[in-house]
Amino acid sequence: MNVHFWGVRGSIPTPLSSQQLRIKLIAALQRIKPEDIVSEEAREKFVESLPWWIRGTVGGNTPCVELTLKDKTKIVFDAGSGMRVMGKFSDPPADGHYHLFMSHFHWDHIQGLPFFDAAYNPNIIFDVYSPYEDMKEYFARQMVAPYYPVDFSAIEKHFVFHKIQPGESMELGSAVITCARMSHPGDSYSYAVVEDSHKFVYATDTELSTKDFLSSDVRAAVFENADVMLIDCQYTVEEALRKVNWGHSAFCYAIDFAAAWNVKKMYMFHHEPTYDDRKLSTILDAAVWYANYISGDSLKIAIACEGDSFDL
């Protein structure tokens, strides 16, 4: 399967500000030497040598992650503002069929759907899955006057909604998908996708606690021995302690969780909107150190950045 990040920010879209861009430019200029600008090749090499937080950005769009299975089945997790970008730059499914899995229906996870070009194409089919009863109603509520000019009734004919049960596996294309309920205001659901013995986990918006580490068939089916897990790491410990019951986790709690379930690689996800790229870089460094401290080389840490992709 191929995994592509279209939106990785949490809570609200966060565009790169002029001040943040200025900080990046100053940081780059402080590192430059005369030999770095003698040719186009030298300039390109210099840019590539810069720390990632200077030469790039994690991005500001809210959650949307696209999976393409080996049989070309298209799976999308959440419909945050990153979904608009996906509509502009992703190849549409050859069969005209999207499978949209919703973790929950908070605004930052649904606000991209009205701006997704394919939603208005009558030849495209959307199968929408979640354990929630009123999926159609939740989508429709954000597309009513005066909040949006097009009513959901204009596109609902090619949307089909499927209520699924946590812990029950379903076959989809060449994969098997299972979900588990997580701790978040109004609930949220994590999903595991298994294809050819490779497991990918999408675990956004979760406030981890002791019960998440306890063995159960449902949690084991989703998390145990995952090859890659994308998980909510919105806070530092200090901020998590000040925001109990807000529904998000500190990065070190996520690392403990990943290690407990024998996850091989963890991507930090759902980044705090007030954290700029420089702060996220320091958090990533701390996360890598902590993962090495508690697990040696058994758990790899990465940070989800908008536009990045990988094959599993």
For the segment 103-118, the average pLDDT, to the nearest whole number, is 98
List Cβ neighbours of 194 (8 Å cut-off, separation of 6 or more).
Answer: 175, 176, 177, 178, 200
Q: What is the pLDDT of residues 112-135, one digit of tens each?
A: 999 999 999 999 999 999 999 999
Q: Is the pTM of this model over 0.85?
A: yes
Residue 297's pLDDT band (cuts 50, 70, 90): confident
pLDDT of residue 285: 98
pLDDT, position 242:
95
- The helix or strand, by DSSP H or E, that contains position 175, with its residue range, turns out to be strand 175-182
Q: What is the pLDDT of residue 243?
A: 96
Helical pair 18-31 and 277-295, crossing angle rounded to 10 deg:
70
pLDDT at position 258: 98
Phi, psi of 64 (to 5 degrees): -160, 120
Give residue-wise pLDDT tens across range 17-50: 999 999 999 999 999 999 999 999 999 999 999 9
Task: Give the chain's mean pLDDT.
Answer: 97
DSSP states along 225-247:
T-SEEEEE--B-HHHHHHSTTSS
User: 130: which 2 tokens?
Assistant: 């979640």
What pLDDT is attached to residue 115? 98
Please tell me the predicted confidence (pLDDT) of residue 114.
Answer: 97
How many angstroms separate the CA atoms of 143 and 194, rounded?
34
d(CA 205, CA 189): 8
Note the pLDDT tens digit of each residue in 246-263.
999 999 999 999 999 999
The pair of structure tokens assigned to 270 is 């759902």
